[in-house]
Structure 1
Amino acid sequence: MDNIILDKINRFTRRKLTEDEVYVFSVILCDNDIDRDCERFSDGALQSLKERFVGRTGIFDHDTAAANQNARIFDTELVTDDSRTAADGKPYKYLRAMAYMVRTEENKNLIAEIDGGIKKEVSISCSAAKRICSVCGSDKAVTSCNHVKGRKYGGKLCHTILDDITDAYEWSFVAVPAQVNAGVTKKYTESDTVKAQGEDISAADDELRRDIRRLAYFAGGRSAADIASLSAASLTTKQLIALRRSFEEQCGRGRAEVQLAPDNKEADPTEGFSMR
């Protein structure tokens, strides 16, 4: 470990730590690929996240209790991989972070699990003010449109582009990425309208229900998510928006959950990376 790395780490410490006292590892936080929820970060969003995640703490399962802190990011790098492209055909880019932990008797098993590939998947929590439709350019944080994520229009997959990052909260080790707590939550207001008709309305309601389940998971875990899903099953669009807003108030407005599997670049990024 060179002195440059130690200097970057010691910006966050009360006393200067030595090489023997710290454990350093890297994680990939997010990228510009279209995920399984048909969403992706813009290049500007990745650049903003690069700057905002320096100094952010690492925890488990988004449990923000102070005792749950286990690592901290001390450096970030935005990488362009010229050997591959994202699903939309653009050059593949990802945000890599360097994190450190202080070696203690209590975390030696965690370090062994990281080295052994057991603790691998991570999820980030951030705020994206803009959620842009890839087909028409509408900002879904402000209004709605007729285009449904996951469908093709003119041969191109409709997805949501996440832009204008306003904050980065934390990053977590998670047991199962790409499940109910994955995905960026959307902000709905009283002025939002659902313009699509027929099956498009059904698709919009399903998206609302997925957002409710994610927020409920973040607010109260899997049991809360299961209860919220049952409650949302028979609600109207207006009722779904109201329920989603109540969970949003519990979790913090604009909060976004993002998950990915960080190190296996040979794997399909939409499998471990669920929004991610």
Structure 2
Amino acid sequence: MDKTILDKINKFTRRKLSEDEVYVFSVILCDNDIDRDCERFSDEALEELKERFIGRTGIFDHEATTVNQNARIFDTELITDSSRSTAYGKPYRYLKAMAYMVRTDENKNLIAEIDGGIKKEVSISCAAAKRICSVCGCDKSIASCAHIKGRKYGGSLCHTILSGITDAYEWSFVAVPAQVNAGVTKKYSEDDTVKAQAVQQISEADEELRRDIRKLAYFSGGRAAADIASLSAANLDTHGLIELRKAFERQCGKGRAEVQLGVNEKEAETNDMFSMRQEG
């Protein structure tokens, strides 16, 4: 398990838990599509829920008792799926959360049910200050209008847009959620760690390439050339960085392994680097 994940989990614990002590899984909490109650969250509401749901507890059937607590959210992410559209024609967005449980004898059956797809559907409990009519824009929390949820007006389904989130209470495993797509997506697996490590390794390799490019550019044209090369390399991917480094190597007439600083050159570069840090 990635150390970053454990660090996020341990922000909520009294002592640091080890990888073997926790069970981690991801869950879709809600989205911006029209649900079974003919309501939906605005994009702004999803942004607010993203922040408010960190640290919130997971229970069953919205029964808010301590013995009913089974999991806690330690991270959230708002995702846009451009391949899908909502019922009202906008890009589909959903709030994904990462939750953890402490492995115990009491919850091993629950973990098995989550892995087996039995415990899957979830529902959230929150407070919204605004309830906007999709047809006329009336805020039904302070006034009423003639439009009825579930009916079509001008070919469009009337629904209520929830916005202005004031609180997020909890999320629950339920049998039938209001939001069709809300539920456990998958268990956290070693594949996630492998992918994260691969991304980190690519990032580190790219930074090394950028350092090589700056050094080679410095040999070619001094500090000004190094500054320009750094700007050029900043947004290049790995392939682009390799090609740029090769170009500077050809310009210098040396391979990367052969590049060495002479005593005077090394002193000059060190002074330049010190000046840059002072100016920064």
Q: How big is the shift at 1:98?
A: 0.2
**Any idea what the Cα deviations from partners look like across 1:226-264, whole Å, max 9, x if unmatched?**
xxxxxxxxxxxxxxxxxxxxxxxxxxxxxxxx7754257
SS at 2:111's partner residue? Answer: helix
SS at 2:183's partner residue? Answer: coil
**CA distance, structure 2, for counterparts of residue 22 and residue 56 of structure 1:** 17
Q: Rg bigger for which structure?
A: 2
Q: How big is the shift at 1:169?
A: 0.2
SS at 1:64's partner residue? Answer: coil
Matched, 1:129 2:129: yes
Unpaired runs of 5+ residues, structure 1, are 183-257, 265-276
Unpaired runs of 5+ residues, structure 2, are 186-280
Matched, 1:14 2:11: no
TM-score norm. by structure 2 comes to 0.64
Match of 2:163 in 1: 163
**CA distance, structure 2, for counterparts of residue 69 and residue 47 of structure 1:** 25
SS at 2:142's partner residue? Answer: coil
SS at 1:73's partner residue? Answer: strand
Match of 1:25 in 2: 25
Contact 2:128/2:163 (8 A) holds in 1: yes
**CA distance, structure 2, for counterparts of residue 139 and residue 78 of structure 1:** 25
Match of 2:93 in 1: 93
SS at 1:111's partner residue? Answer: helix
**CA distance, structure 2, for counterparts of residue 173 and residue 86 of structure 1:** 24
SS at 2:113's partner residue? Answer: helix
Q: How big is the shift at 1:110?
A: 0.5
**CA distance, structure 1, for counterparts of residue 184 and residue 70 of structure 2:** 19
Match of 1:177 in 2: 176
Match of 1:240 in 2: none
**CA distance, structure 1, for counterparts of residue 184 and residue 63 of structure 2:** 23
Match of 2:75 in 1: 75
Match of 1:104 in 2: 104
**CA distance, structure 2, for counterparts of residue 164 and residue 27 of structure 1:** 23
SS at 2:62's partner residue? Answer: coil
Match of 1:149 in 2: 149
Q: How big is the shift at 1:156?
A: 1.3
Q: Structure 1 residues 66, 39: closer, same or farther in 2, change over 3 A?
A: same
Q: Structure 1 residues 66, 263: closer, same or farther in 2, change over 3 A?
A: closer
Match of 1:43 in 2: 43
Q: Structure 1 residues 84, 123: closer, same or farther in 2, change over 3 A?
A: same
AA matched with 2:19:
E
Identical counterparts, % of pairs: 78
Trace 1:197-208 onto structure 2 (pairs within 5 A). Answer: none
**CA distance, structure 2, for counterparts of residue 136 and residue 129 of structure 1:** 18
Q: Structure 1 residues 169, 122: closer, same or farther in 2, change over 3 A?
A: same
TM-score norm. by structure 1 comes to 0.65
**CA distance, structure 1, for counterparts of residue 164 and residue 62 of structure 2:** 22
Contact 1:123/1:260 (8 A) holds in 2: no
SS at 1:55's partner residue? Answer: coil
Contact 2:35/2:180 (8 A) holds in 1: no
AA matched with 2:176:
P
Q: Which has the higher helix share?
A: 2
Aligned pair count? 186
**CA distance, structure 2, for counterparts of residue 45 and residue 166 of structure 1:** 10
Contact 1:53/1:73 (8 A) holds in 2: yes
Q: How big is the shift at 1:155?
A: 1.5
Contact 1:177/1:260 (8 A) holds in 2: no
Contact 1:58/1:171 (8 A) holds in 2: yes
**CA distance, structure 2, for counterparts of residue 57 and residue 29 of structure 1:** 12
Match of 2:266 in 1: none
**Any idea what the Cα deviations from partners look like across 1:117-172, whole Å, max 9, x if unmatched?**
00001111000110000111000000000111111112111111000000000011
Which structure has the higher relative contact order (CA within 8 Å, separation 6+)?
A: 1
Q: How big is the shift at 1:102?
A: 0.4
